[in-house]
Structure 1
Amino acid sequence: MIRNVALALLLAGPAGAETIPEPSNYRGEPYRAPVPATLTGAEVIGIDEALALHDAGQAAFVDVMPRKARPEGLPEGTIWNEPLHQTIPGAIWLFDTGYQALAPAEEARLRDGLTRAQGGDADRPLVLFCRSECWMSWNAARRAVAWGFDPVIWFPGGTDAWTEAGRPLVMAEPVAP
């Protein structure tokens, strides 16, 4: 019996090789979970393509990783320092814009930030990312497609793939709300 289970596992392919279908709407919790290999209306790239685009300066890189909020219930007078966020060099950090549902401020931050990232060139590719296996970048890229931005490129490996490729990250400054 164990031999049959081992054979079945070998034939099934590598772990995580299951196909994740694109949902019909934006994805909610849990945001850190396996993601689809596709995003209708967008190009999906791996680390080699991301490095080439970045090194050539041919695209705007947009980080949608959430910003850490001050924990609720801290005693009065407690000093809280927001954790630093690291991102791909040259990327803009449009924090909190990858959730399933966006408040008007986050929606405006994403839409306006994408427009600014293109720098007046509506044909400049937008590369959206966060971390690997993170639905936030999928959601934000899907919104960009729905709003008519083109070309939209989704980089699902994000900062994890970036560092695994031996590339450094830099400290990010959030785009003002």
Structure 2
Amino acid sequence: MRPAAAAPPPPEPSGYRNDNFRSPTPATLQGARVVTTEEAEALWRAGVLFVDVMPRPPRPATLPAGTIWRDPPHESIPHAHWLANTGLGALAPETEAYFRDTLDHLTGGDRGRPLVFFCLRNCWMSWNAAKRALSYGYRRVIWFPDGADGWSDAALPLERLQPVKP
């Protein structure tokens, strides 16, 4: 019996993805360069800025009052900058200001500096974040759709990150 063919990637939407973030992503992002794990590794070795946009797990609502909550460890690409919760389709004004200001700080205000955005494979959050960076005027936006999953699958190093403080 012949295996079923993989479904083609979905088309790019005109706006941001606002739900079902862990699902197949487009193969492209207009205005951005899309890279494989091998290409991402070369960029990483060259010192290009990597931006991880995975969300930070919230404190469980059912946790009894007074219980100490510790965030689970976040394994990511070494030296990446974790801008937690910035890949959602709609950002609160404070989160959008944090994202915009932190990108400006990381790049020294250079909108031509390359930036690699990632999260996990089949995760729209990095697609949203890269699209948003393009809307801010960044001209060398790179989207790494396989993200930390592809990095780990290639037996490349990971390290624990903490979110970049506002």
Please give the range of the TM-score, normalised by the shorter of the 2 chains. over 0.9
Between 1:65-74 and 1:125-134, the stretch displaced more is 65-74
Task: Give the corresponding residue for 1:25.
Answer: 15
Between 1:108-117 and 1:132-141, the stretch displaced more is 108-117
- Answer 1 or 2: which has greater helix percent: 1
For 2:109 and 2:143, locate their aligned partners in 1 and report how far apart those are by CA, in whole Å.
Answer: 21
How many residues end up aligned between the 2 structures? 166
**Higher CA-based Rg:** 1
Q: Secondary structure at the match of 2:12?
A: coil
Task: Give the corresponding residue for 1:35.
Answer: 25
For 1:89 and 1:119, locate their aligned partners in 2 and report how far apart those are by CA, in whole Å.
Answer: 21
Asked if the contact 2:9/2:24 (under 8 Å) is kept, the reply is no
Asked if the contact 2:111/2:137 (under 8 Å) is kept, the reply is no
Asked if the contact 1:98/1:136 (under 8 Å) is kept, the reply is yes
Task: Give the corresponding residue for 2:85.
Answer: 96
For 1:61 and 1:27, locate their aligned partners in 2 and report how far apart those are by CA, in whole Å.
Answer: 21
Task: Give the corresponding residue for 1:3.
Answer: none
* CA shift digits 1:70-115 (9 cap, x unpaired): 1113212212211111111111000000001000111012111211
Letter of the aligned partner of 2:71 in structure 1? E
Asked if the contact 2:113/2:138 (under 8 Å) is kept, the reply is no
Asked if the contact 1:133/1:156 (under 8 Å) is kept, the reply is yes
Between 1:119-128 and 1:106-115, the stretch displaced more is 119-128
Task: Give the corresponding residue for 2:34.
Answer: 44
Report the TM-score, using the length of structure 2 for normalisation: 0.94
Report the TM-score, using the length of structure 1 for normalisation: 0.88
Q: Secondary structure at the match of 2:142?
A: strand
1:149 equivalenced with 2:138 (yes/no): yes
Q: Which runs of 4+ in 1 moved over 2 A?
A: 119-123
Structure 1: which 5+ runs fail to align? 1-5
Task: Give the corresponding residue for 1:56.
Answer: 46
* CA shift digits 1:16-69 (9 cap, x unpaired): x41310011100221000000000111111111101111111x11000000011
- The counterpart of 1:77, out of the listed 54, 59, 66, is 66
**Percent identity of paired positions between Structure 1 and Structure 2:** 54
Asked if the contact 2:81/2:164 (under 8 Å) is kept, the reply is yes
Letter of the aligned partner of 1:79 in structure 2? I
1:110 equivalenced with 2:99 (yes/no): yes
Letter of the aligned partner of 2:133 in structure 1? A
| Post-superposition offset of 1:120 | 4.7
For 1:112 and 1:46, locate their aligned partners in 2 and report how far apart those are by CA, in whole Å.
Answer: 28
For 2:119 and 2:161, locate their aligned partners in 1 and report how far apart those are by CA, in whole Å.
Answer: 12
Structure 2: which 5+ runs fail to align? none
